[in-house]
Amino acid sequence: MNTTIRKANPKLAAKFFPNKERENIDTIQKRSTFDRNENVLMDAFLAWTGLDSFRKMCDRNEMYTFVDQWSDKVLDPKSCKWITERQHILNQGNIPLQNNRLRGIVRSVSGVFQSTQTEPVCVSRDRDKQAKGEMMSATIQYVYQLNKLWGLDAACFTNFLVTGVGMFRSTFGWRNGKMDVWTDLVNHRRIFFDNHMEDPRHWDCHLVGEIHDVGLYDVMSQFADGSPEKAEEIRRIYSYCDRDRTISRVENLVKDARRFQNFFIPDDETRCRVIEVWKKESKERLLVHDKLTGEFYKTEVEDQLQLIRENDKRKAEQSAEGIEVKDMKLIEYQWFIDNYWYYYYMSPQGDILKEGETPFWHESHPYSFKIYPFFNGRVYPFVGDFIDQQRYINRLITMQDFVTRASAKGVLAIHQDSIPDGMTAKDFADEWAVFNGVIVYKGKPGIEMPKQIVNNTTQLGLTDMLQIQLKLLEDISGVQGALQGQAPKSGTPAALYLQQTQNSATSLTELFEAFRELREERDMKNMKLIQQFYSEPRYININGNNARPDTMVYDPKTVQNAEFDLSITESTSTPAYRLVMNDFLMQLFSAQQITLEELLQNGAFPFADKLLQSINARKEEAMAAQQAMMNGGQVQPMQQGIVPQDIQQQMNQNTNPLVQQMLAGNNAA
């Protein structure tokens, strides 16, 4: 019997029986250092380009608020070219006048924000350990003072009013001679984010970033990672940077050099453009629930074998203890696609300077931003609501000036035959304007005497229209005269003026609340950075803070893994609050309800720490003297809470008589 061995055809097998092994889900491409990633660079560029109109709107709002309110372009009918309104008015021989009311409104709203000083407060999830929350609150307030965040918040709030966007960047690193948590204000012209956001909380953001212009050696220091070879590669990438000069412009503080900023080209040839991109990437992972510890975490798919071995180990151990299978504390896990934040630092050519998964415990990007009001994917800044009223006010003022200059004002009308012989019209006009001047002429029949013509321009209604626009400006902005600190009209009751101020502030509540949410998000990230990077105890005494002594030292072992709720509340560091608090504590001290130490620990006295140290030192000396007496065999019978007579006299030296009286009363009791 003949048997024929059939050989498989690899091409047919691949066609009809394809390989069923699937590819792993991972959006990160495996690259080596300094490889290029054009896809991420293009995503960042498109996000940047999508904000072109936004940046133009912000530039217009900035011009109207701070610079030139006649900067809008109009078509010149003579030259058929687009020119500014200022130039158009000058071409007509007029003077473009402006009365900037927007700046006063922004200053008033910003003043209301700064007058209500607030601070972050952390509340521990475990109410029995609230001292942890007080410790974390004091630490965050230390970060506030370190970064001067109260002033930075005021600057960001002004930018928030003009552009509708506020953004901070929180990181941990070496700066000003120390490793600490740092917060920076981000310029709205340098940011970009994706255009898919619809959530007013911005939780659906998938891409955010910023462009940086820094020196060459700063780039090498940050991304070389201690390798001279990488430093030379960075030098090659930024070979276009002029390292011999550090300043390229003469004008400063008055010229808007960044108005026409480019995504790829730095502002000047002495700087290096670094593009920072944070993007949500996807990867298949395992979501793990450890029933023994109650912990939820994620791990790589490759770690599944270790989880199986751990479960087998636990089954054996718990079976030996007589635990049924259904009651065993095992590890449960399931496959899922994880969306996580991934960062890229890139050159304008797409070279990857550094990349990796977010290193922060908050598992997000370092930016905190708020867009307000964010309606239907668009932003409507506070200043943009009443620009038209400001334009009309300037137009009315300019029109009033034009009419006044064009109308007759004291024009002398005289018949030619009335000019005396030997005088010219100029001589007559000069003599007419001279104080106590005398003109002798002969009147002629039918010829009127010289007279001056003055045209009344007050009946055109411009003043009434101007008052209407000023009233509309207050109504639309919500900033009434009372909020601006203007003097009330005669006869206005004080209660009515106070009510007007409160009503005006009420209309701005939504604006303040939106900015408070931004600060809460930033402070929450700062809190996570503190928990992650503060690995050594730190003394964090805050000026004006009334924290307890045990919360003035940050202990990472105590709060590093604790969960806190953070909120922004009215500050207790204001002078008015400290005055009320100290008065109340002094009343309790006078009534002998608290001791001197409790008074100093809970009060806000500038000398409290020094005085507490003196009291503690005195107690230590007394205890040392008592110990010496006991060691010398001169042991006196003592009751609990009673101090020997000689030690009592030593403690009472240079002591307040009221304290001595309290001590005597306590001993008698």
Q: What is the pLDDT of residues 596-647, one digit of tens each?
A: 888 877 777 777 777 878 888 888 888 888 888 877 655 444 444 444 454 4
The letter for the amino acid at 133 is G
d(CA 383, CA 451) in angstroms, rounded, equals: 51
In a domain, 366, yes or no: yes
pLDDT at 33 over 80: no
d(CA 64, CA 384) in angstroms, rounded, equals: 9
Residues 211 and 325 in one domain: no
Residues 363 and 214 in one domain: yes
Residues 308 and 270 in one domain: no
d(CA 207, CA 40) in angstroms, rounded, equals: 10
74 strand-pairing partners:
83
In tens, the pLDDT along 310-333 reads 999 999 999 999 888 888 999 999
In a domain, 208, yes or no: yes
- Domain limits for position 302: 282-339
- 393 vs 487, higher pLDDT: 393
295 strand-pairing partners:
290
Tokens 């001169």: give the residue. Answer: 634
Measured N-to-C along each axis, helices 387-406 and 52-66 cross at an angle, to the nearest 10 degrees, of 50
Please say whether the beta carbons of 360 and 331 come within 8 A.
Answer: no
pLDDT at 12 over 70: no
pLDDT of residue 636: 47
- Asked whether the whole model's pTM tops 0.85, one would answer no
Q: β-pairing, 538-539 with 331-346?
A: unpaired
Please say whether the beta carbons of 432 and 478 come within 8 A.
Answer: no
Mean pLDDT along residues 99-117: 86
pLDDT of residue 383: 92
Instruction: Measure Cα distances from 583 to 496, 576, 589, 601, 648 in Å.
Output: 31, 11, 10, 14, 30
**Omega before 644 within 30 of 0, i.e. cis:** no
Please say whether the beta carbons of 242 and 249 come within 8 A.
Answer: no
d(CA 413, CA 220) in angstroms, rounded, equals: 81
How far is C-alpha 537 from the chain's CA centre?
28
Residues 264 and 375 in one domain: yes
d(CA 111, CA 278) in angstroms, rounded, equals: 35
In a domain, 350, yes or no: yes
Number of domains in the chain: 3
Residues 44 and 104 in one domain: yes
Instruction: Classify 71 as helix, strand or coil.
Output: coil
Please say whether the beta carbons of 585 and 599 come within 8 A.
Answer: yes
In a domain, 47, yes or no: yes
pLDDT of residue 666: 46
Mean pLDDT along residues 149-160: 94
What pLDDT band is residue 1 in, cutting at 50, 70 and 90?
very low
Please say whether the beta carbons of 329 and 336 come within 8 A.
Answer: no
pLDDT at 659 over 50: no
In a domain, 12, yes or no: no
Residues 290 and 152 in one domain: no
In a domain, 30, yes or no: no
Residues 169 and 297 in one domain: no
Residues 323 and 379 in one domain: no
What stretches of 544-607 show up as alpha helix (H) in DSSP? 556-559, 575-590, 596-602
Residues 74 and 213 in one domain: yes
Residues 147 and 43 in one domain: yes
What pLDDT band is residue 411 in, cutting at 50, 70 and 90?
confident
Written as six digits, the tokens of 354 are: 């550094």
Tokens 């070979």: give the residue. Answer: 239
pLDDT at 147 over 50: yes
Instruction: Classify 607 as helix, strand or coil.
Output: coil
Written as six digits, the tokens of 94 are: 């007029």
- 354 vs 499, higher pLDDT: 354
Instruction: Measure Cα distances from 479 to 110, 325, 668 in Å.
Output: 11, 69, 64
- Which of 306, 324, 339 is the last residue before a domain boundary? 339
d(CA 295, CA 331) in angstroms, rounded, equals: 10
pLDDT of residue 641: 42
Q: What is the mean pLDDT of the chain?
A: 80
From its phi and psi, is residue 370 left (phi > 0), alpha (psi between -120 and 50) or beta?
beta
Residues 113 and 191 in one domain: yes
In a domain, 29, yes or no: no
Written as six digits, the tokens of 61 are: 């709002």
In a domain, 259, yes or no: yes
Residues 103 and 165 in one domain: yes
- Which of 321, 339, 357 is the last residue before a domain boundary? 339
Share of the chain above pLDDT 90, in %: 33
Query: Which residues 6+ apart lie within 8 Å of 390 measured at CB?
Result: 64, 69, 100, 101, 102, 473
- Which of 352, 383, 414 is the last residue before a domain boundary? 383
Please say whether the beta carbons of 229 and 223 come within 8 A.
Answer: no
In tens, the pLDDT along 421-469 reads 778 888 878 877 777 777 776 666 767 777 776 666 555 677 777 788 8
